[in-house]
Amino acid sequence: MRSRMNWKVLVVGFLMTLTLVDVRAASNSTLNKVREKKARIVEKLKRDFRKLKKQDGAVKLVGGGNGEHEGNVEILHDGKWGSVCDDEWDYLEANVVCRQLGFDGAIKPTSNGHFGQARRRYWMDNVYCDGSEDELSKCRFDGWGASDCGGGEAAGVICTRDQQDRENEDNKGMTERKPKTKSEKRRVKDIHQQGVAIRLVGGRVYSEGRVEVKLGNSDWGVVCGDGWSLFEAAVVCRQLGLGYASDAVQTNFFGGQRTPVAISGVQCHGDEDGLIDCLHDKLLDCPGSVENVASVVCLRDMPDLVFDHIELMRTAHLEDRQLYWLQCAMEENCVASQAYKVQKESDNWHLETRRLLRFTARILNAGTADFRPSVPKHLWEWHMCHMHYHSMEVFATFDVLDQNGTRLAEGHKASFCLEDNQCLPGVEPRYKCANYGDQGISVNCSDVYKHNIDCQWVDISELAPGEYIFKVAVNPEFKVGEMSFDNNAAICRLLYTESFAAVHSCVMGRP
């Protein structure tokens, strides 16, 4: 009740202020000045709104160095702040956060702890927004505190700023501190031309540990873990002759908290011969450097998933299906947001029809080690639709894009139960979903999700007929290390008419 009264007082105060401005402006007789005063008042109230809104579901940005418009997202629940995991995190969710904070929208979503590791427990995971929500807490997600995310998976945003916000932050920077800008990135060898040495330190075995570099004649220093991923770790393992990257972690588990940071913001494509060919921050910038240490685990034998694009083209087809038959799939977020709106607004929602683009997904493990889920068995989630446990919440993504790469159909992020459905002659299947069995994909075996299985589709009900790009990717969030990620996605052409769909001209690529 007190919160409601506060907002009523704020609104009344706002109206009285505008009235006073009109009275003063009448004597001044300058319409432009009136507008400028009103605009300043509105902007001030927007900023006050961002600061005052502390009730359950409030959000804030932390860790950003350039101002209040960027940072990792934290949300208030049960009187405590918590982080948001980057699983499913994209522009739709980022826009909701920025609008809730009073900004016009998002410039980009960030992931992999772009603004440093998560500082608190995760309150939200697998967040689905349709873009119309006015608060992040009104989006669909797994439930408060239900998460399997690590510290390096914090979701963040960079919001758009209006001119008034820029001026205020510039003025603040002049009086309190120098404005901080994000350092430009340059190749390591272009800055440190005297040579760079690299080693692993603190590991339990020789093939793991924190990454340390020696720049020219300087002392050994650690690499900042900000944005550290399997792509950077793969380069380190390759350069040291230790095989492939099994894990890339941002932690001081291997020590290093007392060692100075040598470089930050390392960014690799993954196929470089050495770390000197990667980009890094020209000026050192490492948030939370005490625990934010780049570390790797290297292995000689690794899995390598290959998506079967031929089977995708052969089996793709349309199906119109009533929501009555999709109720179980709706519980697993397998249909577009419009279907959930219909469910809320219509008593006869179950009679509404959705158009589905169905296809078969066949994934072969062509590596030298079994592909195993990253989540331990006790955290697997039971799914009623398929009557078995899913070991990976986002094993595959299905997206329809326009010619510019903008996502049109909402896309579906599928959780899978991993098992050996087809194996080459002489290979014995090892993994089965039934009876809480072990899950994975053996070497030279395939996991096959046929087109007639629930959720093996993209809901394209709101898509207009035309020509599009259809992209299917497996292990898209790089949660499990592989020999290569360059064959994990099929990027195809999609021809869609009112009664027919054809997927053709597929090429393999990276998710």
Residue 48 vs residue 314, higher pLDDT = 314
Phi, psi (rounded to 5 degrees) for 268: -120, 155
CA 250 to CA 289: how far, in whole Å?
10
- pLDDT the model gives residue 178: 43
Local structure of residue 154 (DSSP, 8 states): B
pTM confidence score? 0.72
CA 155 to CA 114: how far, in whole Å?
8
Mean pLDDT of 400-404: 91
- pLDDT the model gives residue 436: 84
Which whole-number Å values give the CA distances from 379 to 302, 374, 390, 393, 414, in the listed order?
23, 10, 10, 11, 17
Going by pLDDT thresholds of 50, 70 and 90, the confidence category of residue 167 is: low
- pLDDT the model gives residue 173: 47
* pLDDT of 222 over the 60 cut: yes
Over the stretch 134-151, which tens digit does the pLDDT of each residue have? 899 988 888 898 887 877
- pLDDT the model gives residue 429: 95
Closest CA to 125 of 100, 97, 96, 154: 154
Q: How many CB atoms lie within 10 A of CB 479?
A: 20
Domain boundaries, the chain: 2-52, 59-176, 185-299, 305-509
Going by pLDDT thresholds of 50, 70 and 90, the confidence category of residue 470 is: very high
* pLDDT of 477 over the 90 cut: no
- pLDDT the model gives residue 19: 54
The CATH architecture one would assign to domain 59-176 is Roll (3.10)
CA-based R_g, the chain, Å: 26
Say yes or no: do domains 59-176 and 185-299 share a fold.
yes
Q: Residues 295, 485, 360, 437: is their CA dihedral positive or negative?
A: negative
Going by pLDDT thresholds of 50, 70 and 90, the confidence category of residue 400 is: very high
- pLDDT the model gives residue 334: 85
247 near 297, Cβ under 8 Å? Answer: yes
- pLDDT the model gives residue 174: 44
* pLDDT of 79 over the 60 cut: yes
- pLDDT the model gives residue 237: 96
494 near 502, Cβ under 8 Å? Answer: yes
- pLDDT the model gives residue 18: 52
Residues β-bridged to residue 354: 321
- pLDDT the model gives residue 506: 96
- Tell me the average pLDDT of the chain: 84
Mean pLDDT of 305-331: 93
Mean pLDDT of 229-254: 93
- For the ranges 169-178, 196-205, 384-393, the one whose mean pLDDT is highest: 196-205
259 near 212, Cβ under 8 Å? Answer: yes
- Give the range among 12-26, 133-147, 384-398, 407-421 with minimum mean pLDDT: 12-26
Indicate the pairing of strand 294-299 with strand 244-250: antiparallel
- Fold classification of 185-299 (topology level): Mac-2 Binding Protein (3.10.250)
- pLDDT the model gives residue 304: 97
Residue type, 20: L
Residue 162 vs residue 254, higher pLDDT = 254
Which whole-number Å values give the CA distances from 498 to 184, 411, 505, in the listed order?
48, 19, 21
Mean pLDDT of 318-347: 88
185 near 277, Cβ under 8 Å? Answer: no
CA 32 to CA 43: how far, in whole Å?
17
Reduced to 3 states, what is the DSSP secondary structure of residue 441? Answer: strand
Residue type, 343: Q
Residues in the chain: 511
169-173 own/partner pairs: CB under 8 Å, 24+ apart: 169/67, 169/68
* pLDDT of 507 over the 70 cut: yes
Indicate the pairing of strand 392-401 with strand 466-474: antiparallel
- pLDDT the model gives residue 25: 46
- Give the range among 43-52, 342-351, 495-504 with minimum mean pLDDT: 43-52
* pLDDT of 387 over the 60 cut: yes
Residue type, 261: V
Query: Residue written as tokens 């060919």?
Result: 277
| Residue 131, CB-side half-sphere exposure with 13 Å CA sphere | 11
Residue 21 vs residue 495, higher pLDDT = 495
Going by pLDDT thresholds of 50, 70 and 90, the confidence category of residue 44 is: low
- The percentage of residues in the chain with a pLDDT greater than 70, rounded to a whole number, is 83
Phi, psi (rounded to 5 degrees) for 21: -65, -40
Over the stretch 2-19, which tens digit does the pLDDT of each residue have? 444 455 455 555 555 555
* Alpha helix segments (H runs only) across 53-193: 91-100, 163-176, 188-191
- First-to-last C-alpha distance (Å) of the chain: 49
- pLDDT the model gives residue 289: 59
Three-state SS string over 327-391 comes to HHHHHCCCCCHHHHHHHHHCCCHHHCEEEEEECCEEEEECCCCCECCCCCHHHCEEECCCCEEEC
- pLDDT the model gives residue 165: 53
Q: Is 440 left (phi over 0), alpha (psi -120 to 50) or beta?
A: left
- The percentage of residues in the chain with a pLDDT greater than 90, rounded to a whole number, is 45
Mean pLDDT of 161-190: 60
* pLDDT of 180 over the 80 cut: no
* pLDDT of 66 over the 50 cut: yes
Residue 130 vs residue 352, higher pLDDT = 352
Residue type, 222: V
CA 183 to CA 178: how far, in whole Å?
14
- pLDDT the model gives residue 420: 95
- pLDDT the model gives residue 4: 46
Residue 198 vs residue 56, higher pLDDT = 198
Concatenating the DSSP letter of every residue in 274-339 gives SGGGSEEESS---TTTTT-BEEEEEES----EEE-HHHHHHH-EEEEEEGGGGHHHHHTT-S-HHH
Concatenating the DSSP letter of every residue in 115-135 gives TSS--S-EEE-S-B--S--SS
388 near 434, Cβ under 8 Å? Answer: yes
